[in-house]
Chain A
Amino acid sequence: MFDKISFFPEQASTFANEVDVLYLTIWGLTIFFSALVVVMMLILGIRYRRHNKIDRTHPVHTHHGLELAWSVIPLILGLMIFAWGAKLYADAYKVPENAEEVFVIGKQWMWHLQHSNGIRENNELHVPVGRPFKLTMISQDVIHSFFIPAFRVKRDVLPGHYSSAWFTATKPGKYHLFCAEYCGNEHSRMVGSVYVMTPEDFQRWQDLKGTAGGELKNPVVKKTLADEGFEIFQSVGCSNCHVAEDTARAPSLNGIYGKKRQMQNGEVLLADRDYMRSNILTPNDKITAGYEATMPTYQGSLTEEQVNSLTAYMKTLGTPDEPKPAGGEIKVRAGKVVNPPPANSTKPATGTTTGGRL
């Protein structure tokens, strides 16, 4: 225990150093101002102690210059720190376009993670160094918070809304993963590990997945998320109405992801992750112009994982710019081995996806 005394968590992501520098800067200010006041108090207190014979004539009771000085100087310093911190915050939550996506589901009391290529992990996350990863997160029950101290990354995981964070790991190793928002009895056991690997190791890990060998306890071989989504699309009945063409019953889903959709009440909404999710689970909240509320709700019957897979599938149905056919031709697709879909072509740069809910 005593051999591990440290003052800083390891720096294992591109943010870590930036956060540490700002952190130390504010400590510098804190120590400077605390020392200033404490030394001032000590000197004045001792110098003007009760029994000390010292000149006390012409005491000053108010001094506008001084008041101005100690209002304005802290204010300016504060504003500088604010700007620095806001910049860092913007960087920390603005996901780069080429980030690979990992889907995170928080539930009492475990983390379930899905890579786009279908690898699943529980309470563990394997990532290579040097590549940006985006976390798209949702909770199945209460509010959790995904926290990797070594990356200086944290984001609340809310029920009902996707939230996102991203990082680029820089240093191979094993790091803590915590749930930071109190979530019930086993809150302090809702922890896990993040394994940062060299690209070669990561590749090997990906290849090994599912052989139940090596260091991998949890990963299970699966189809890609999109393939799994296609199966769900068929099995829960989506494909009965949503076919390649718009019909009277249902709009085609070709190229829907990332498109602007006109609602019946006149609103225009962007078909992003939250839109897809709410229109799968509670389709009649927002009805696309020209259609009726005939789609059943899937709230309670589809899990967050299934919704995620469905969304992943729909993302593969082309983009607004180059729609790909859906419906019958999809079956061809389903057989294909699809590596992580090229993220840059499908993802709108929405930054923080859950922003603006108040």
Chain B
Amino acid sequence: MSDIPVHHDPHSHDQPEPNYLNWSHTVKDWLLTGDHKRIGMLYLISVTIFFIVGGVAAMFIRVELLTPKADLFSLETYNRIFSAHGIVMIFFFLIPSIPATLGNFLIPLMIGAKDLAFPRLNLLSWYIYVIGGTFAVLALVFGGVDTGWTFYTPYSSMFSNGNVVLTIFAAFFAGFSSIFTGINFIVTIHKMRAPGMTWFRLPLFVWAHYATSLIMVLGTPVVAITLLLLVAERSLHLGIFNPNNGGDPVLFQHMFWFYSHPAVYIMILPGMGVISEIIACFSRKRIFGYSFVAFSSLAIALLGFFVWGHHMFTTGQSMYLGMVFSILSFMVAVPSAIKVFNWASTLHKGRVSFHSPMLYALGFMGLFLIGGLTGLFLSTMGVDIHLQDTYFVVAHFHYVMVGGAIMAFLGGVHFWWPKMTGRMYNENMAKVAAVMIFVGFNATFFPQFIVGYLGMPRRYAVYPEEFQFWHILSTMGATLLGLGYAMPGVYLVASLFNGKKAPANPWGAVGLEWHADSPPSPHNFHETPIVTWEAYEYDIDGEAGMYDGPLEGNEEKRTNFGGESGTEPAGHPAGD
């Protein structure tokens, strides 16, 4: 691999060569940028803000649930808080979290392109997201909304007195933002790959994002039109979902879940892509069963469109319909199982190191396993009768979305942080945070499985006393979890000011993105790379390049292609 034509341009003399962060500092250049890396960073900042908003709401919920009575908030306020938590977390954090930040930043780098296919569409999608976010914030400021994130009719259309219309427009805009992102990714992955970057040389991260984009493109329009119908229903009283006018409230649920179940895969599939990258890198080994993992992403995306009815086993849909949805839901378990087993097998005969991204990845595996397997309880029709709308469901989807998607998001942020910012963070603190989040998460949500089976319904502010023990456990766990989430916020931001300068390839990873500088130059690569190697061609014995603690005295061995020694470093010495 010594003939890789990626090399840095040695024209810089005294001045460090401009990278995408520092070539200009004006607000205009940030807000009107077409650069996928800058847009990724804009998204990173925006989703973090919404994560904080949603997280504060979550803490309010947990504190209120410490006691069986509604003593901190009125019932009405509580309803608005959990609705805000759900809407903000799902539409403004989880759905854009990985695709719009890491995906935006990395897909062009990983496939050797200068940018996404449509840079201005990309920027537009961020603006639309911001408009949607503004609507959401306005809805909150004006008193919030009390429908829950599911907007079930006829409550949302005829009975709620919250800011339903404003909130729906918020979700509607967020949806368009993800449609545009999806279109951009699909075209980019199809048409912008560097010479030699065949489909089966793509990193699994890209495969996962391709599958995600398919869901975004196919599913989001349906929920968009459904929400529009709901707005029309609420403002003009049309009656499409209103039984008193001959409409059908269950039709809304069908149309809503047609998108919103696949939307769960929008949240988790990119996370799976992140995990594939991290596990391969820190095992120094090609992902076991590459093509199986790649196709399982597509299988999940495809099957995900035909299982929405498992949210409705108790609504009275026909039993035979329910059976079809149930059996297909079990089928989704198969590609998920394939992924998990393949990841675990990747460790075999690898060279495993436990850096913080790897800790997040292993944590993801454990939590996703529980999250996925508890999904089987809910697709089992007879058991779902009891579990539907209880805390068991809450625990299940938090295991998938928080335990899965957010662990993966944090793992990815830690893994690519040096690439995105050019700085190394405090590895020890990162490890502590990873462990805290893992422990705190389980303490928060495992009790909810039990209290759910005991019969505690969702969205209850007051509850019978015998459930209190489990809620106290859960709130204690949530405190730890909250502290755990705060930590990366501290040490990652601190690293921007006092972190060590990151080399181009701190982990000795082999993805194309590591061939660019850290942070990458505005045009990503100095020359268009020509790919002549397979994905994940790790050299099992090549330990060189693994960033291990402080960089002092370690500067010379920081980058390598494929971990081999003797190749030309990809990055130029940053900042010296």
Query: Across the interface, which residues of A come within 8 angstroms of B450, CB to CB?
Result: 7
Given known pairs A4-B466, A78-B331, the reply for A26 and B454 (CB within 8 Å) is no
Residues of A within 8 A of B333 (CB): 74-75, 78
Partner-contacting stretch, out of A53-61, A114-122, A211-219, A241-249: A53-61
Interface SS, B side: helix
Q: Which residues of the other chain, B, contact A150 by a CB distance below 8 angstroms?
A: 455
A180 and B352 within 8 A (CB)? no
Contacts of A353 in B (CB 8 A): 316
Chain-A contact segment, one of B116-124, B172-180, B317-325, B564-572: B317-325
Q: In the complex, what residues of A have CB within 8 A of residue B304's CB?
A: none
| Distance A23 CA – B292 CA, assembled complex (angstroms) | 31
Of listed B323, B333, B345, residue having the most chain A CB within 10 A:
B345
User: Which of B104-112, B146-154, B208-216, B483-491 makes up part of the contact surface?
Assistant: B146-154
Q: Which of A287-336 contact B (CB under 8 A)?
A: 299
Asked whether B347 lies within 8 Å of A44 as measured between CB atoms, the reply is yes
The interface bits of chain B over 545-571 (1 if a CB of A lies within 8 angstroms of the residue's CB, else 0) are 010000000000000000000000000
Q: Which residues from chain A contact B362 at a C-beta distance below 8 Å? A: 41, 45
Stretch with Cβ within 8 A of A (4 or more), from B13-21, B37-45, B371-379: B371-379
Q: Is A220 an interface residue (CB 8 A)?
A: no
Answer whether residue A145 sits at the interface, using C-beta atoms and an 8 A cutoff.
yes
Within the complex, which residue of B254, B290, B369, B384 is in contact with A33, where a contact is CB–CB below 8 Å? B369
Residue of A nearest to B464 (CB): A176
Q: Which residues between 336 and 379 of chain B lie within 8 Å of chain A, taking CB atoms?
A: 337-338, 340-342, 344-345, 347-354, 362, 365-366, 369-370, 373-374, 376-377, 379
Q: Complex Cα distance A353/B562, Å?
A: 64
A118: shortest Cβ distance to chain B, in Å? 27
Contact in complex: A50, B352 (CB < 8 Å)? yes
Q: With A41-B362, A352-B316 given, is the CB distance from A178 to B348 under 8 Å?
A: no
Q: In the complex, what's the smallest C-beta–C-beta distance from B309 to chain A, in angstroms?
A: 10
Q: Are A154 and B334 in contact (CB under 8 A)?
A: no
Does B79 touch A at the CB level, under 8 Å? yes
Residue of B nearest to A7 (CB): B450
Please name the residue on chain B nearest to A2 by beta carbon: B469
Binds A, one of B262-270, B386-394, B407-415: B386-394
Q: In the docked arrangement, what's the CA distance between A23 and B353, Å?
A: 38
Asked, given contacts A74-B334, A187-B79, whether A158 binds B381 with beta carbons under 8 Å apart, the answer is: no
Residue from A7, A86, A161 having most chain B Cβ neighbours under 10 A: A86
Contact with A along B421-435 (1 / 0, CB 8 A): 000000000000000
Q: How far is the CB of A27 from chain B (nearest CB, A)?
A: 8
Identify the stretch in A89-97, A125-133, A199-207, A265-273 within 8 Å (CB) of chain B at 4 or more residues: A89-97
Residues of A near B455 (CB, < 8 A) are 9, 147, 149-150, 176, 178
B16 to A: closest C-beta gap in Å: 32
Q: Which A residues, 1 to 60, have Cβ-Cβ distances below 8 Å to chain B?
A: 1-2, 4-9, 18-19, 22-23, 26, 29-30, 33-34, 37-38, 40-41, 44-45, 48-50, 55-60
Asked whether B380 is an interface residue with its Cβ less than 8 Å from the other chain, the reply is yes
A82 touching B314 in the complex, CB below 8 Å, given contacts A44-B347, A355-B319, A358-B250: no
Within 157-204 of A, Cβ neighbours of B (below 8 Å) are at: 158-161, 163, 176, 178-189, 191
A141 at the interface (CB under 8 A from B): yes
**Number of contacting residues on A, CB 8 A?**
98
Is A158's CB under 8 angstroms from B316's CB? yes
Q: A30-B370, A158-B243, A355-B316 are in contact. Are A23 and B462 (CB under 8 A)?
A: no
Establish whether residues B349 and A48, one from each chain, have CB atoms under 8 Å apart when the complex forms: yes
B330 lies within 8 A of chain A by Cβ: yes
For A53-91 the 0/1 string (1 means CB < 8 A from B) is 001111111110011001100110011011011111111
| B444 on the A face (CB < 8 A) | no
User: A82 with B327: in contact, given A26-B380, A180-B388, A184-B155 (CB under 8 Å)?
Assistant: yes
Given A34-B373, A158-B243, does the pair A145, B146 have CB atoms closer than 8 Å?
no
Of residues 125 through 147 on chain B, the ones whose CB sits less than 8 Å from some CB of chain A are 146
Tally of chain B residues near chain A (CB < 8 A): 99
Given A34-B366, A149-B455, A358:B462 Cβ within 8 A:
no
Known: A30-B370, A33-B373, A185-B75. A49 touches B251 (CB 8 A): no
**Docked-complex contact B454 and A352, CB < 8 angstroms:** no
| CB contact under 8 A between A59 and B381, given known A6-B466, A189-B462 | no
From B288, B365, B377, B389, contact of A145 by CB (8 A): B389
Residue in chain A with minimal CB distance to B351:
A50
For A74, the chain B residues whose CB sits under 8 A away are: 333-334, 337
Whether B459 and A8, one on each chain, are in contact in the complex, defined by CB atoms closer than 8 angstroms, is no
* Contact between A44 and B352, CB atoms less than 8 A apart: yes
Give min CB distance, B439 to chain A, whole Å. Answer: 15
Taking a contact as CB atoms under 8 Å apart, the answer to whether A62 and B249 are in contact is: no
Option from A6, A48, A89 in Cβ contact (under 8 Å) with B351: A48
Q: Known A4-B466, A56-B540, A188-B459; judge A160-B244 contact (CB<8 A).
A: yes
Q: Are A155 and B316 in contact (CB under 8 A)?
A: yes
Indicate if the CB atoms of B154 and A48 lie closer than 8 Å. Answer: no
Please tell me if the beta carbons of A89 and B319 are within 8 angstroms of each other in the complex: yes
CB distance from A10 to the nearest CB of B (A): 10
Whether, in the assembled complex, B385 has its beta carbon less than 8 Å from a beta carbon of chain A, the answer is: yes
Shortest beta-carbon distance from B504 to chain A in Å: 21
Cβ-neighbour of B365 out of A41, A88, A141, A161 (below 8 A)? A41
B386 with A152: CB separation less than 8 A: yes
CB distance from A274 to the nearest CB of B (A): 11
- Bound Cα distance A78, B459 (Å): 30
Q: B460 to chain A: which residues have CB within 8 Å?
A: 178, 187-188
Which residues in A have their C-beta under 8 angstroms from that of B380? Answer: 22, 26, 81-82, 84-85
Q: How far is the CB of A85 from chain B (nearest CB, A)?
A: 3
Q: Which of A84, A147, A163 contacts B382 (CB 8 A)?
A: A84
Any chain A CB within 8 A of the CB of B286? yes
Give complex CA distance A152, B466 in Å: 18
**Interfacial chain B residues near A58, Cβ < 8 Å:** 349
A254-B316 Cα distance, complex, nearest whole Å: 30
Q: What is the CB-to-nearest-CB distance from B239 to chain A, in angstroms, rounded to a whole number?
A: 11
Quick one: closest B residue to A300, CB to CB?
A: B244
Beyond A85-B380, A89-B313, A152-B386, is A29–B373 a contact (Cβ under 8 Å)? yes
Question: What A residues does B314 contact at CB under 8 A?
Answer: 145, 154-156, 180
Given A37-B369, A61-B288, A86-B381, does the pair A159, B244 have CB atoms closer than 8 Å? yes
Choose among B146, B349, B370, B384 the residue with the greatest number of A CB atoms under 10 Å from its CB.
Answer: B349
Report the minimum CB–CB distance from B269 to chain A (whole Å).
Answer: 18
Q: How far is the CB of B27 from chain A (nearest CB, A)?
A: 43
Chain A nearest CB from B233 CB (Å) reads 14
**In the complex, A74→B340 CA distance in Å?**
12
Does the CB pair A358–B248 fall under 8 Å?
yes
User: Are A61 and B316 also in contact (CB < 8 A) when A29-B373, A147-B455, A176-B455 are?
Assistant: no
A102 contacts chain B at the CB level, 8 A cutoff? no
A179 touches B248 (CB 8 A): no
Nearest B-chain residue to A18, judged by Cβ? B382
Distance in angstroms between the alpha carbons of A30 and B344 in the assembled complex: 17
Bound: A108/B352 CA distance, A: 58
A positions within 8 Å CB-CB of B: 1-2, 4-9, 18-19, 22-23, 26, 29-30, 33-34, 37-38, 40-41, 44-45, 48-50, 55-63, 66-67, 70-71, 74-75, 78-79, 81-82, 84-93, 108, 141-143, 145, 147, 149-150, 152-156, 158-161, 163, 176, 178-189, 191, 282, 285, 299, 351-358
Known: A87-B382, A184-B146. 10 other contacts (CB 8 A): A1-B468, A2-B469, A74-B334, A158-B243, A159-B154, A159-B244, A182-B389, A187-B75, A188-B459, A299-B244
List, sorted by A's number, 30 A–B pairs whose CB atoms are closer than 8 Å.
A1-B465, A9-B454, A30-B376, A33-B369, A37-B369, A44-B345, A48-B347, A48-B348, A48-B350, A48-B352, A61-B288, A66-B341, A70-B337, A81-B380, A85-B379, A86-B382, A87-B382, A141-B154, A145-B388, A154-B386, A155-B316, A161-B243, A178-B460, A180-B314, A180-B390, A184-B79, A184-B146, A184-B160, A352-B316, A354-B316
